[in-house]
Amino acid sequence: MMCTKELITGKAFINGQWISGTETFDVVNPATGGVVQKVANLTIPQVREAVEAAHHSWVSFKKSDVAERAEMLEDWYKLMLAHKRELAEIITLESGKSLTDSLGEVDYGASFVLWFAEESKRAYGETVPAATQANRIVTIKQGVGVVAAIAPWNFPLAMVTRKVAPAIAAGCPVILRPASQTPLTSLALAILAERAGWPVGVFHVVTGTDASAMGYELSTHPLIRKLSFTGSTAVGKLLMKQSATQVKKLSLELGGNAPFIVFEDADLDAAVEGAMFAKFRNAGQTCVAVNRFLVADVVFDAFASRLTTAVASLKVGNGLDDGVQIGPLINRKGRDKVEKHIADAVDKGARVLTGGKVIKDLYYEPTVLADVPADALIAREETFGPVASLFRFKTEEEAIRMANDTEFGLVAYFYSNDVRRCWRVAEAIEAGMVGVNEGRISFAGAPFGGIKESGIGREGGRVGLEEYLEVKYINFGLAGS
Ligand code: NAP
């Protein structure tokens, strides 16, 4: 299939200028191993230039009208939808995910832009009853200042819009550092922001391969007031430590180890349908991907058999080809982790119901493992691949204990037709998000995020804007003449 090149550029975007960089790096298509585009490998002084330009632009941008910022976002949103197909092709070219997943990502990612265009108008403060007649107290909300955003490769568009849209809505300039494997979608979004007439200096995209040096700069530069990061828990912890030097405001969307509980009273067909989305979207490379299926003993075989039938029918291939549902894994490291987790589980007694092997290169067979023991690596670490691991439980208490037996707390799913159990379990689960008889939980109007080591803060919803606002309390003294 021929892809349009209209929105593909290898130049970084700083202060309204497109920068070639003296050095470049290759963005490689995981489906073919071919180079999609050479991209500017920026130096740290160039990153500093972006920070200083962003700070400069903040002087006027913080005083801009809300209506102007809402319009900036609306225009960006419309351009994203007008270029939905091109953006989806870029996502597939650099991340490998199926075109169907990429088209879904454009809709999902763009929905945050529209949501925050609207929400920008609702940064309400409050009036607070003062203790005496001599005072009047109000609170107002103001943008936090220059924002650094660091994004992962698994949703090259949606993880960007979830950060940039609320920052712009709050009047905060943004320096975006996309993952070095997937910078092209971010650069395409910068082209669209430029076309939407965004003021110079409010949006920068800094590209490069030295993630730790760029991350250090963005988390320690005194002109940056807020850091928003999506990625692994290990890097999140490091950035948190580095940001402590200036007590920067932080949003961290980190790793997970999602349980998916199938109780004995569940609708098994609905559970399989939910499982297919919650586990196999983007070849299992999502932070909300199920990592552990906890299945009641009495329905274990029935659920395992229906899930295996559905998984065995998934079509694997180049994401740009018709009908493909599962693309390649992102890179060799990702593939090795999947292989290691499966070998370890099988060594410890798990049964392979389908899949279990590399097809070729970065393509891995969609896999179902049954009777995975609790001490398997897969029970503790995020696999980030197309592997469904099934564990058995006997009682509700045991299922809840197993679900919560992890340092992560991003999302949990469960299926049951007993309304009392649904409330009981939803409240007992330690996670920022719970899908009850539902495998699709992401939505721009809802607060997305985790507890425990899965992160701090929320993206989306009303609270998604609060992350980019500070509360100022103003006390008017009325005493005296
Ligand atoms: P990662 O290694 O932490 O990378 C994420 C981003 O951080 C990339 O842009 C990466 O750049 C950059 N990075 C790497 N080392 C850095 C450092 N020392 N300082 C600053 N930035 C650094 O994570 P990943 O394995 O690629 O991504 C998958 C992880 O993201 C999973 O754990 C997944 O659960 C999590 N995730 C969470 C959410 C959520 O909302 N909670 C959503 C999506 C993904 P390079 O790519 O150039 O190295």
Q: How far, in Å, is the centroid of ligand 1 from the Cα of 327? A: 20
Q: pLDDT, tens digit, for every residue of 3-37?
A: 678 899 999 999 999 999 899 999 999 999 999 99
pTM: 0.96
Q: Which of 25, 97, 150 to mutate to test the pocket of ligand 1 (most atoms within 8 A of CB)?
A: 150
User: Where in the sequence numbering do the catalytic residues fall?
Assistant: 253, 287
**Token output for 136:** 């009047």
125 half-sphere exposure, CB direction, 13 A CA radius: 15
Q: What is the pLDDT of residue 480?
A: 84
In ligand 1, the atom with minimum distance to the C-alpha of 255 is 34
Q: Tell me which residues of the chain have a pLDDT lower than 50.
A: none
In ligand 1, the atom with minimum distance to the C-alpha of 151 is 9
Phi and psi, residue 40, nearest 5°: -60, 130
**Token output for 76:** 């960006």
Q: How far, in Å, is the centroid of ligand 1 from the Cα of 209? A: 13
Distance CA 168, CA 143 (A): 9
Note whether 84 and 90 are within 8 A (CB): no
Residues at CB less than 6 angstroms from ligand 1: 150-155, 159, 179-181, 211-212, 215, 230-232, 235, 238-239, 253-256, 287, 382, 410, 450, 455
Q: How far, in Å, is the centroid of ligand 1 from the Cα of 154? A: 9
Alpha helices in 300-373 (DSSP H): 300-312, 332-347
CATH T-level fold of 5-254+454-473: Aldehyde Dehydrogenase; Chain A, domain 1 (3.40.605)
Note whether 75 and 196 are within 8 A (CB): yes
Q: Which of 28, 232, 382 to mutate to test the pocket of ligand 1 (most atoms within 8 A of CB)?
A: 232
Note whether 40 and 224 are within 8 A (CB): no
Long-range contacts of 85-89 (CB under 8 A, 24+ apart): 85/4, 86/3, 86/4, 86/6, 86/7, 86/188, 87/7, 87/157, 87/185, 87/188, 87/189, 89/3, 89/4, 89/320
Q: What is the pLDDT of residue 5?
A: 84
CATH T-level fold of 258-442: Aldehyde Dehydrogenase; Chain A, domain 2 (3.40.309)
Same fold: 5-254+454-473 with 258-442:
no
- The structural domains of the chain, with segments of one domain joined by +, span 5-254+454-473, 258-442
**Which of 178, 244, 218, 165 minimizes the C-alpha distance to 456?**
244
**Which residue's CA lies nearest to atom 39 of ligand 1?**
253
Q: Which of 209, 235, 248 to mutate to test the pocket of ligand 1 (most atoms within 8 A of CB)?
A: 235
Distance CA 95, CA 91 (A): 6
Q: What is the pLDDT of residue 1?
A: 54
